[in-house]
Amino acid sequence: MRDIMRGLLTRGLFFLLVGWIPLSGYCAPVPTAQLNQPCLACHADSDIQGISTDKVQVNLVVSADKYHDSVHGEVPCIACHQSQPGSEGFSVTPHVLKPGDDQNCESCHGVVMRDTVHAVQQSAHSEKIAKGLFSCTSCHNAHTMTAGELNHPGKQRVADDNLMCTNCHSRAGVFMHLSGGKSSTSQDMAHSALPYASEHLNSLRCIDCHADAADSTLHRILPASKAISCVQCHGDGMLLTARRKTFAPDENAMAGSLLGKGLFDDVSLREKLTAVAPPVPAVRQIDGVLFTDTYMIGNNGSGQADRFIAWALSGFVVLLLCHGLGRLIMSRRKTDMPLEKSYLYTLPVRCWHWLNALCFAALIISGCALHWVSARFSLWVDVHNIAGISLCVIWLGFILVSMCGNGHHYQVRWQGITGRLIRQTRYYLYGIFRGEPHPEHASPAAKFNILQQLGYIGVMFLLLPLLIVTGLLMMYPGYTPETLFALPGKQVVAWLHYALAVVMVAFIIVHLYLSSTGDTPGALIKGMLDGFHRARKQK
């Protein structure tokens, strides 16, 4: 009996095992590629585009490779596309799809991306969505879209993202159909009112300006009249900084991120990372450290540097005021001597001087408005650019006047220069308080003393040309080298321009103060108005 039971049990286990083998085949998941193969057999063929359709923006061709690499690459076609119940299914063409089949993204994304769906429902496109004229697939190609960098996209990502918008807004027929009869020319697609329009359009996505500032998903699209203002982006710590301060992490950026946490042997791990890991790319961020690989006016400034410069210039002004007060109190200069006038400043020189002053006033005011982002940002951009170009022309005029006879005033007489420097410095630090005569008198042969001469040479032939060149490179950033001195080119140019501007402001402060050091407080200023230099006749 025992043998019989053993035999039955053995045979039962055998037949159970044999029966389970075919059943296991039915339980194994079918690979997505295998499920999608019948669909791609037709849709991966470009000839399918010849099939007529009455749907706007339809694209029947699906690249098998691009679909495999897309975010939906592991999703079978039938997960989104179902045939109409009662129809012959996908065996006949054109397919009769289930109603609403092209708008069923919410069946999945309504759960996992609820905020995005909610933002879309509140966007400027919501009215078109309700009428069935607009859907997720109007912007996103579900067959090819890849995981994008939300915060700091590269140039290709910017171009691809903007193509989603221009596919409708720049195509006359499509825009007219979706907008209810409006002409595509009613839009300012060139953004003519935008400063540096080409730079903005190449560097920013449409959604960076046209999405609600409070929407982190960038799907609540606003009407054009409510687009983001300049100040919202260019202000320190403002919108674009918050949106683009970091970038989506990848394997390279995460390499070594667990070092220094006491989890591993850091020494050996560093050696392994050095040996096998590719170089970690620099974090691309708009706001942050001194040198980064991007620059945005009004946003990349350093508050610490600004405060230091403000205190330094303020201290400098206080010193000059103290110097002037000392002159006023201690001056012993005799006022009974007659003033002599000599014609030193020709009309071209005076015109150049006052035009130069006007340009610098406009540049300083507009530069501050840009650096600290005031209202009407775009207006100040135009003012700064116009004043900068004008300064270029005026400087060329200065060079022309110098070549035509005024240049001898900038030719340094090197003989006895050390003694002259000592005497002139002593005069400004001591002699001027005692009413002593000037060591060097202005004359048609040489209207500058040695300190003035060296100062003007440094400013007019070195600092000002550098200021103009860096300004032009900021105005036309496409000509700025990618790197300068192994540092990001745009940042180097921007900070050099800022430093030169500060030096020029300091020079102007000194220049204004020295204009009061004539034999009378207004003598030198009058001379630049009528051309006559006034000085008391020495006995």
Structure tokens at 539: 């006995």
Task: Please determine, for residue 288, whether its predicted confidence score (pLDDT) is greater than 50.
Answer: no
**Length in residues, the chain:** 539
Place of tokens 């989603």: 164
Taking only the tens place, the pLDDT of each residue in 523-532 is 888 888 988 8
Grouping H, G, I as helix, E, B as strand and the rest as coil, residue 484 is strand
If one compares 302 and 428, the residue with the highest pLDDT of the two is 428
Tell me the pLDDT tens digit for each residue of 302-340: 778 889 999 999 999 999 999 989 888 887 655 566 777
Q: In the prediction, which pLDDT does 365 show? A: 94
Integer Cα distance of 152 and 203 in angstroms: 10
Distance CA 404, CA 394 (A): 15
HSE-CB at 12 with a 13 A cutoff on CA atoms is 6
CA gap 20, 24 in Å, rounded? 6
Q: How far is CA 54 from CA 58, 94, 139, 454, 527, in A?
A: 9, 12, 18, 78, 81
- Top-confidence residue, 178 or 307: 307
- Report field, pTM of the whole predicted structure over 0.85: no
Q: Which two tokens stand for residue 409?
A: 């005033």
Query: Cβ distance 192 to 89 under 8 Å?
Result: no
pLDDT recorded at residue 283: 40
230 three-class SS: helix
Answer yes or no: is pLDDT of 398 > 80: yes
Chain Cα centroid distance, residue 173: 34
High-pLDDT (> 70) share of the chain, %: 74
Q: What DSSP string describes 397-451? A: HHHHHIIIIIGGGG----TTHHHHHHHHHHHHHTGGGGTPPPSS---SS--S-HH
Q: How far apart are CA 353 and CA 502, in angstroms?
A: 20
Q: How confident is the model at residue 238 (pLDDT cuts 50, 70, 90)?
A: low
**What confidence score (pLDDT) does residue 507 get?**
96
The mean pLDDT of 428-440, rounded to a whole number, is 85
Are 145 and 246 a contacting pair, CB within 8 Å? Answer: no
In this predicted structure, what is the pLDDT of residue 359?
A: 96
CB within 8 A of 472, min separation 6: which ones? 388, 392, 479
98: alpha, beta or left? (left if phi > 0; alpha if psi -120 to 50): beta
Q: What is the pLDDT of residues 5-47, one digit of tens each?
A: 555 455 555 444 445 445 444 455 677 777 788 888 888 877 7
Among 85-94, 234-243, 391-400, the least confident range:
234-243
CA distance 361 to 380: 13
Residue 534 in this model has a pLDDT that exceeds 70: yes
Instruction: Tell me the pLDDT tens digit for each residue of 357-387.
Output: 999 999 999 999 888 876 677 788 889 999 9
Identify the DSSP state of 136.
Answer: G
Q: What is the CA radius of gyration of the chain?
A: 37
pLDDT at position 60: 78
Which pLDDT score, from 0 to 100, does residue 462 have?
94
Region class of 353: left (phi > 0), else alpha (psi between -120 and 50), else beta: alpha
Does residue 92 carry a pLDDT above 80?
A: no
The predicted pLDDT at position 527 comes to 87
- Give the pLDDT confidence score for residue 502 in this predicted structure: 96
* Confidence at 244, pLDDT banded by 50, 70, 90: low
Neighbours of 468 (CB within 10 A): 18
Q: Return the pLDDT at 472.
A: 94
